[in-house]
Amino acid sequence: MLETIYTFFKPHLLPLLYALVIVAVLPLLAGYVVLLERKVMADMQARLGPMRVGPHGLLQPIADAVKLLMKEDIIPESADKWIFWLAPLLSVTAGMVAMAALPFGPVFQIANLNVGLLFILGVGSMGIYGIVLGGWASNSHYSLLGALRSAAQLVSYETAAGMAVVSGVILGGTLNTSALVNVQADQHVWFIFVAPIGFFLYLVASIAETNRAPFDLPEAESELVAGYMTEYSGFRWALYFLAEYTNMIVVASIATTLFLGGWLRPFAGTKAFNFLDYVPMLLMLLVAGYSLYRAPKQPVPIQKMVMVAVAGLCFGLAAILAAPVFIKTGIIGAMMPGVHGAFWFLFKVGIYLYVFLWLRFTFPRYRFDQLMKLGWHFLIPVSIVNVFGVAIASYLHRTEENGGHGWNLWAAILLTTAITFVIAAWLAKKGDRPPAGPVTAEKF
């Protein structure tokens, strides 16, 4: 009996372990992304951000989590209790299930689906239900308006994001996430250089998909209280927040896989750049050294201990990253693609998230009609033209026996990107002109 259960589960044990690691680490990671956001916001506003709770605010997410867990759980009287309970759950579940197909490294992937990219997009779009049902179940005007606006925004920008992804998939020739990274490794070029407009479109669309500024009207505090999250308090609100940051990590991972080369080191194929293999280890040592340097300067002993613990953690990570580089044989040497791949993937996701945060604190908010106009009148036409452009470039570049014309890659890309850019500029200019007034009789 026990053997049958074991043989039944055996092929699934490793993915289960990965899934457990991701589900366990994700709330912590999302909490620290919140802390990172507050620190980056403070840096851009010439102040320091959270400094008190841990050294440099490092224990702030834990304090926030404890506070939110202990808050009173208020449910509005006339709310639909069952849907009120279900809505945050849907958002979080959609985000976490989407993380099942993300390729964190050549080895560390829960499910290598053949339609992986589409799976992530599709399941990620189920987060809309969490928003719409949450707004409706709260039985309040602000919530419903915010929910409907947010859902309309998400649906509009999903088309543009999907088309941008299609332009990347044309280059990759497959929807399989690992295969996409392998194609970028084989061709020694990241797709961002081949389809830069596609990357830009995906960047803008993904900011709107995750309800981040400057597209965050549905949850802006000065507009609709908190939009669909108004009536949610304590842990339910924490779940919505977790869902938002999980979505951010998911879209950053899609962009990294498709456009930024996934888990590849920069210049992965070139032997001359092998010195870049030492970079992860050096980065970790730098952080550890800085923590040790700041440790004696902390005001309180417990903060000193936390800094030393952080330094110890970074030393440990540096050792893990250094081991496969120095010991090139045996099982430790074989861990090299896995460990370094995961590092480079998370590094690129971090850069993408930094761009998200940077844009949040730089641009003012879009008004809702401007938002919809941008989505429908600019992004979708440009993304369609971009798909045409990338397809034509791919056709021109293909060798003669494969049915193409054998142009040089960069010549084809330059031509089609220039045409797409001209059309996009014309569309943007057209959008700036004030709309024509109603046709009156005097004109004729």
Give the residue ranges of DSSP H helices in 273-335. Answer: 279-294, 301-326, 330-334
Between 96 and 314, CB nearer to other proteins: 96
Between 299 and 437, CB nearer to other proteins: 437
Q: Which two tokens stand for residue 406?
A: 């054998």
Q: Please, is 145 exposed, middle or buried when counting C-beta atoms within 10 Å of its C-beta (0-12, 13-18, 19+)?
A: middle
Q: How far, in Å, CA of 172 to CA of 254, rounded? A: 13
**Smallest distance from the beta carbon of 122 to other proteins, in angstroms?**
4
**Smallest distance from the beta carbon of 90 to other proteins, in angstroms?**
9
Between 10 and 271, CB nearer to other proteins: 10
For tokens 């399989």, what's the residue?
Answer: 176
**Smallest distance from the beta carbon of 119 to other proteins, in angstroms?**
6
**Smallest distance from the beta carbon of 350 to other proteins, in angstroms?**
28
Between 34 and 87, CB nearer to other proteins: 87
Contact 356, 212 (CB under 8 A): yes
**Smallest distance from the beta carbon of 125 to other proteins, in angstroms?**
4
For tokens 């074989």, what's the residue?
Answer: 334
Between 106 and 134, CB nearer to other proteins: 134
The CA-atom distances, in angstroms, between 142 and each of 223, 229, 308, 366 are 9, 9, 47, 18
Q: Which two tokens stand for residue 172?
A: 């990759």
Between 61 and 130, CB nearer to other proteins: 130
**Smallest distance from the beta carbon of 102 to other proteins, in angstroms?**
16
Handedness of CA 245, 344, 184, 356 (dihedral sign): positive
Q: How far, in Å, CA of 314 to CA of 343, rounded? A: 13
Is the N-terminal amide bond of 337 cis, ω within 30° of 0? no
Between 114 and 408, CB nearer to other proteins: 114
**Smallest distance from the beta carbon of 132 to other proteins, in angstroms?**
6
Q: How far, in Å, CA of 257 to CA of 98, rounded? A: 14
For tokens 């299930």, what's the residue?
Answer: 97
**Smallest distance from the beta carbon of 419 to other proteins, in angstroms?**
24
Other CB atoms closer than 10 Å to residue 407's CB: what's the count?
16
Between 158 and 223, CB nearer to other proteins: 158
Between 132 and 306, CB nearer to other proteins: 132
Between 65 and 123, CB nearer to other proteins: 123
Other CB atoms closer than 10 Å to residue 177's CB: what's the count?
27
| Distance, C-alpha 233 to centroid of its chain | 26
Residues lying near other proteins in the complex (CB under 8 A): 8, 80, 82-83, 86, 113-115, 118-119, 121-123, 125-126, 128-129, 132-133, 136, 144, 148, 151, 155, 158, 174-175
**Smallest distance from the beta carbon of 159 to other proteins, in angstroms?**
10
Angle (CA) 280 282 287, round 5°: 100
Between 148 and 276, CB nearer to other proteins: 148
Q: Which two tokens stand for residue 121?
A: 């997009």
For residues 24-38, one letter each, b for 16 or more C-beta atoms within 10 angstroms of the residue's C-beta and e for the rest, the string is eebbebbbebbbbbb
Q: How far, in Å, CA of 248 to CA of 233, rounded? A: 22
The CA-atom distances, in angstroms, between 347 and each of 70, 76, 127, 350, 400 are 34, 42, 26, 5, 39
Q: How far, in Å, CA of 345 to CA of 98, rounded? A: 17
Q: How far, in Å, CA of 245 to CA of 212, rounded? A: 10
